[in-house]
Structure 1
Amino acid sequence: MSAGHTPEPLGVHFESVPEWLRGDGESADVVVSSRARLARNLAGHPFPARSTQAQRKTTLKLCKDWLSKAGLSAQTTCISLHQAAPSERTLLVERHLISKPLAKGRPLPDAQDDDRPPGETDPRAVVVGLPDEKLAVMINEEDHLRIQAISSGLDLREVLRRAIDADDRIEAGLDYAFDEQFGYLTACPTNVGSGLRLSCMVHLPALKMTGELEKVKRAAADMNLAVRGFYGEGSDAIGDLFQVSNQTALGKSEDQILHELDGEIIPRIVEYERFARKTLMSKRRAVVEDQCWRAFGTLTRARLMGAEEAMQLLSQVRLGVSMGLIRDTTVRIVNHLMLLVQPGHLQRVVGHEMDQEHRKEARATLLRTRLGG
C-alpha cells in the first residue's frame, strides 16, 4: 500500500516527531493535540464483538482492499496487527495510532471465537497516513472502522474536516450500517448517531498545583464530558496530561459537538489553566521556578530514570518553558521526549530489548543527551 520505500519495517518512522507533537498551533501551551474520531460499521456484517474469526477476516479484507485505493493520503501504510510483533504494536499505541484493545487483540466479551485456530489472534489492522501520521484508520476494533484525524494544538474544526473527508472517501466504496432514525450504527450505544468523538489532550500542571484540578474534572463530568488519561479510556493521567472529549454522540449533530468543545469547553479549560499559572507566578513564583528548574536539573544529571518519574519531570519543564522561565529547550523537544521515554520508543532508540534496570539507565542517558546535560 505504501507509495515509496522506507527503512522502517512498518512504514512508520518511529524516531520522528509525529505532527500532533510539534508543539505549535492555537493554545499549544495548554492544548497538546486535537483529535476527531468517527466510528463506522459495515452493513450486513456483525459487529466485531459478535462476529466469528472467519467473518472478521472477511471484514478486514473488504476494508483493506478499499482503503488501499481510496486516496486517503499521498502515502499510506497498512499494518496487519495480528502479524506485527508485540513491540511494534506497543510503538503504535505510544504514538496514539491504535488503541490498547486493538494492540492486545484480546477477544471482546461477547466474541464468538469457537472457530479460531489455537494461537491465532484477531484479524485486525491499521492504515496510517504518511509521513505526518495525521490520519489513521483502525480496522476491527470495537467497530469495523475507527477513522482518526489528529493535529497539534487546538484545531478541532480542522481535524473534524479531515476525518469527514476520509469518511466520505471510504463510504464511496463501502456500504455503512446506517439507520434513518438513529444515524450510524455502532457497537457502543453512546456512539450511535454521528459516531463522532472529539477530544483534546491538555496539559494541566498549574491546576493540579493549585488544587483546582478535581473541581474542573467534576465540572466536566457534569457537562457530560469524559476526562481520561494519556492513552484514553482506562488509562492513567501521566505527566499532568488529560484527554477531554464528548461522552456521547447520540442525539447530537457533528456541529453541535464541535460547538460545545471548540467554542466553549476547551477554551474554558485553557482559560482556567492559564489563570492558575498566573496565580502561581504572582503568589508563589519562587516555588514554581524552583520546581521547574529542579526538574530540569534532575533530567540533565540523573543516571537512572523511570518512565513515570520522567513524565512528571518533563511536565514541570514543559510548564517552565511555556511560562518563559526555561529557555534552554522548547515545547516541541519536551513533547518529543515525552514520547521517546515510553518503553517501546526507548527500546527502538537503543536498538534492542532491555530489562527494567537497563531501561532506566538508557532513559536517563537519552534525557541527558537530548537536553544538553
Structure 2
Amino acid sequence: MLFDDLLNNPAKWMVESKDEHDIVLTSRIRLARNLTATPFPGWATRQQRADTLALTSAEARQLPAMKGGYYAELSELNQQQKQLLVERHLISRELAARSEGCAVLISRNQNASILFNEEDHLRLQYILPGIQLKKAWNAVSRIDSGLEEKLPYAYNTRLGYLTACPTNLGTGMRASVMMHLPGLVISEQMQQVVQAAVQLNITVRGLYGEGTEATGNLFQISNQSTLGDSEEQIVERMTRFTSDLAHQEWNARRKLLQSASLQVKDRVSRAYGLLTNATLLSTQEALGLLSFLRMGASLDIFSHQALKHVNKTILNIQPAHLARLSTTEQTTSENRDQIRADIIRKELSGS
C-alpha cells in the first residue's frame, strides 16, 4: 500500500459519525508491549533498536489483519508525512519525533496500526467510530495474541506486562474515547466532569492526548493507569462513563436549546456565515466555529447531512493536511489562514 493511497482514502471513522448525535467520534484501544532481554527503546543502542524492529516488523506484517497494509520506517518519511499521520491519529507525536529504528504498520482499512520502538517496543492500536470499546478491544486482542505466539513478551506474574512507563504496567492498555462536548463547555459543567473522572481513575485531555488543548470542544477521555484492573474491567468502566457523559452532553444541548433557543440558533447561523464567507481563519477560530456547526446539525438547526462535511473539514484544516491540499507551493504563517478559509468554503459548499 502506497502513502498516497493511504492519504487519498481516509478511514470511515475519520470522516463519518456512528453516534446519533455526533457526540462520540471514536473509540480506541492501545496496548503497550515489550520483548524480554531487550532494553526499552529509550535505553537501547541504535543496533538494538534495529534488531528489535527487524524481528517485530517481520512477524507483524504476516498477521491477517495487517497484510497488504502500509509500512514505513520513520527515517523514510519527511516531516510533513509524519505530521499527516499524527493528524490522522495513526501514529503518536512521540513516534513522529523519533527516526532511526522506528516504524509504523497501518492496516488497509486504517482501523489498526502498530508503532515500532516508540516508548515501548510495540504499541498496538485499533480505532472504531462511536462507542465501540469492546469491539475495538476484541480486534486488537487478536492482533496481540498473534504476535505473542511468535514474540517473547516481557511479562511478570505479579506486575503484568512490563512497560517503559510505570502507569502502563499491568494490562498495558489505554482505552480512549474522543468526544465533542460543546454543551457541557457552554453550560460550564466540564470542571465537574473532570472531577468525576478523577474519582474513577479516568483522565480528560485534548484532541491529541496528553499535553494538548481541547480545541473545538473536542476531548479525549482515557483510563489513567492499568495495574490491578483487567482489560474487561477497564473497557466496562470506560464504556459506562463515556456513555453517561454522552447522555449528559445531549441533555445539556437540549436545555440550551430550550432556555436560549434564539441565541443558540444565532450562534450556529453566525458560525456558518463566517465559515462560508471569511477570507482568513486561524485553526483555533475555525475549530471553534465548526464545533457550533456540528452541534447545530445534531440539534436539527443545520442540515444533519453536513456532519460528514464538517468531520472531513476538521481533518483537512490541520496544518499538514492544509499544506498538502494547498495549490500554493509553500504555506507560510502569512498565507495559511487564507488557505484554510478557502478549503472550508469549498468543503461546506457541498453541504
Q: Distance in 1 between the 2:285 and 2:7 partners? A: 22
Q: 1:127 aligns with which of 79, 86, 105?
A: 105
Within-5 A mapping of 1:1-373: 2=1, 6=2, 10=3, 12-27=5-20, 29-105=22-98, 121-130=99-108, 132-262=109-239, 264-327=240-303, 329-350=305-326, 352-372=329-349
Q: What TM-score do the two structures reach when normalised by structure 2?
A: 0.96
Conservation of the 8 A alpha-carbon contact between 2:61 and 2:67:
no
**1:78 CA displacement:** 0.7
One-letter amino acid of the counterpart of residue 124, structure 2: I
Q: What TM-score do the two structures reach when normalised by structure 1?
A: 0.90
Deviations 1:33-64 (A, max 9, x none): 00000110011111111211111111111112
Q: Distance in 1 between the 2:40 and 2:157 partners? A: 19
Q: Distance in 2 between the 1:46 and 1:74 partners? A: 28
**1:310 CA displacement:** 0.9
Q: Distance in 2 between the 1:59 and 1:19 partners? A: 32
One-letter amino acid of the counterpart of residue 45, structure 2: T
Q: Distance in 1 between the 2:40 and 2:276 partners? A: 49
**1:135 CA displacement:** 0.3
Q: Distance in 2 between the 1:318 and 1:56 partners? A: 44
One-letter amino acid of the counterpart of residue 241, structure 2: I
Q: Pick closer, same or farther for the CA change 1:208–1:76 going to 2, 3 Å.
A: same
Conservation of the 8 A alpha-carbon contact between 1:27 and 1:154:
no
Q: Distance in 2 between the 1:305 and 1:74 partners? A: 41
**1:172 CA displacement:** 2.1
Structure 2 unmatched ranges of 5 or more: none
**1:221 CA displacement:** 1.6
Conservation of the 8 A alpha-carbon contact between 1:230 and 1:242:
yes
**1:72 CA displacement:** 2.5
Q: Distance in 2 between the 1:322 and 1:23 partners? A: 14
Q: Distance in 1 between the 2:147 and 2:75 partners? A: 23
Q: Distance in 2 between the 1:40 and 1:299 partners? A: 44
**1:23 CA displacement:** 3.0
Q: Distance in 1 between the 2:275 and 2:111 partners? A: 30
Deviations 1:300-319 (A, max 9, x none): 00111111111111111000
Q: Distance in 2 between the 1:247 and 1:161 partners? A: 21
RMSD: 1.5
Q: Distance in 1 between the 2:66 and 2:148 partners? A: 16
Conservation of the 8 A alpha-carbon contact between 1:22 and 1:152:
no
Aligned positions, number: 349
**1:259 CA displacement:** 1.0
Instruction: Name the residue aligned to 1:111.
Output: none
Q: Distance in 1 between the 2:129 and 2:60 partners? A: 25
Conservation of the 8 A alpha-carbon contact between 2:114 and 2:122:
yes
Q: Please identify which structure carries the higher helix content.
A: 2
Q: Matched residues, percent identical?
A: 37
**Moved runs in structure 1, 4+ residues, more than 4 A?**
none
